[in-house]
Structure 1
Amino acid sequence: MPNASAAIRVGASAESANGLPSTIIESLDRLEEVGTDTVELPLLWMELVIDGRVMPARLEELRRAISGRPFAYSAHAAIGINFMCDPVYLALHQNLARAHLTIAAELGCEHMVMHTGFCAPGLAKPQIERLRAQECETLLKLGEEAQAAGVILCVENIFAEKGNRLTASASELAAELRELDHSHLRACLDISHAALHCDSVGLDLMEEVAPLIPLAKHVHVHDSFGRTNNIPVHTQQEALGLGVGDLHLPVGWGNLPFDDIVTLGEFPRDTIFNIELNKHRWHALDETVRETRRLASRARVR
C-alpha cells in the first residue's frame, strides 16, 4: 500500500508503449497493484510536445490516464535536453524544457527530473567553461520558473558514455547546485550512472556520491555492474550477459553497494526513491519494490 507519510517514499517510472499518453494505463494499473507511493511520468517517451509547444489534446489524454489514482507524481523530461549544447541550438532545448515543465505543473508533479549537460570531450577548457556558464544561467532561469509553477527541478547525474561525451561527475554536479543555491534546483542521484561514470574516468564511487546525497530530493534506483559499455552489443540480452552498460536491473541483480550508499549521508526528508526498471525486467517489479522499501527504511534522513 502507498505510504505518503514515509520520510522517504518509494516510486517507479511508468511505461509508455508507443508515445500515446493513454498507453501508460497498463503500467499504472500494475504500479497500483504493487502499491508504490509515487509514479514518475515518462514525458520523454510521450508525444506531448511539438516544436517546443505543448499539444493540448495529448496533455488532456495524459491527464485522464492518471486521474483517480492513489499516487503522487513526478515527471522525467526529455533525455536530449542539453543546456551545454552549441549556443545556436540552446533556444530549442530551453523551449522543450519549458514545455515539459508546463506539463509537469499542469499535472501536479512534485519533481521534474532533467539530465545534466554534456559536451564533446575534445573541446578546449575555455570552451567548456563557457558552456558550463551557459548551463548554469539557464538552470537559474528555469529554477525561477519552476518555483513559480510549484515544481522542484531535480538535475540528474549522467555518465561519460563510451568516452564520447564530457559531463559533470556526481560531486561536480553537487558543487554546481550549491553554487547556484536555488530552492527549486535540487539533485536526482542516479546511483548506476554515478558508478558508470566513476568506472569510465577513474573516480571513487563513494567519494563522488557523498556530496550529492544532501541535495538529492529524487534518487533513481536500478542496478548494474558499474561497467562501462565499450563492447559492441546487439540486444539488451547481450548487454545483460556481458554485464555492461546502464542495464536498469532489479536491485540485487548487479553489484552496486546500495546499502552502503543509503547510509553514507543524510537525504532530504520527502526524498523519492524511484525505481527505473528496464521494460524487459518488469517481471521482477514486486521484488524490486520490496527491496527498495527496505533500502528506504535504512536510509538516513535529515
Structure 2
Amino acid sequence: MARPGLHDLEAVVAVARRSSFRGAALELGMSTTALSNAVGKLEAHLGVRLFNRTTRSVSLSDAGRLFVESVGPALQDIHGAMDAARSKQANPTGTLRINSYATAAREILSPLLLEFIRRYPQVHVDLVTEGRLLDIVAEGFDLGVRRATLVPSDMIAISLGRPQRNVVIGSPDYFKSYGTPSTPTDLLQHRCIRIRLPNGALFRWRFEQDGEPLLIDVNGPMTLDEASLSRGTVLEGVALGYVMERDVREDIEAGRLISVLKEWMPPSDELCIYYPGRRNPSAAHRALVELARELGSKGRNTTA
C-alpha cells in the first residue's frame, strides 16, 4: 500500500475543519469522491476510522481527534516552511485564497484583483464570497476583506481607500404612495428593507447630525442577508432601502431611484483587506499586499 502523502493529511484536516466532505472538497478544489478516497486511503493505512459518518453529519472519532490535534500544527509548520521558500521567488506564483462578502468583492474586483492578475499572471486568485464572519486562518484563507470595524484586532489591516457613503433610496412610485421621510425617525412609519448581519443581528440604519449618531431599527416587508440585493426590491416600489451610493448612482442619475435624508448620512467604514502576521509570506502574498497599499494610497488622495 502506498504511503499517505501531504494531500491525504490536508484532506483529513479540511474535513475536520469543515465538518463536511462537500465543504472540504470545495475548499481544496477537488471532487467529493476524490476527497473521500483520500480519507479512506489514510484510514486504511492507519487501521482506524478517523470520522464518524452518517447521512446527515460528519464528526471526528476519538482517534481522529487525536490525529488532527497532532497533524494540524505539523501541517502549519510544513506550509510555513514552504511559504518561506516561496518568499525567495523572484516572480510570484501559486494560489491566494481570499474571503469577502459579496458587496466588498465587487468593490475590489476591478481596482485590485484584476490589476493584480494582470501584473502577476502566474498567480491564481481564489475569491470566496459569503456573509458570515469567520476565522480566515482556521478556514484556510490567506486574506480577508471586511469593513474596518469588523476586522479582528489581531489581524494586520490595510485600508483600500476613502470611505464610501450610504444612501436611503426609494422609487418615485413609492414616494407617491407613501410620502417622503423628512427625518430618520419618520422611517418608523415607512416600509423598509431590513438587513441581517453576518452575526445574525439585524442592521440598524445609521444616521448622523452634528457628530451625533442615530440608529433606527426599521420595519418592513422583507429581511435580506445581503444589502446589495435591496436594489431590485426598491426599484419595484415595494420599500425603501439603505445601500452603498456607488451601487445605485446610475439609478439615481437616471431618475429610477430617489435619494432622501442626504444631510443625515455619514460615510461608511473604510473597506480593508486584512491578514495574519507571518514571518515568511509568499511572494504572491507580499505582491498583493503591496498593490493594496498602492490602491489605498491613491484612494485617499482622490477627491470625491
TM-score (norm 2): 0.25
Q: Which has the higher contact order (CA 8 A, sep 6+)?
A: 2
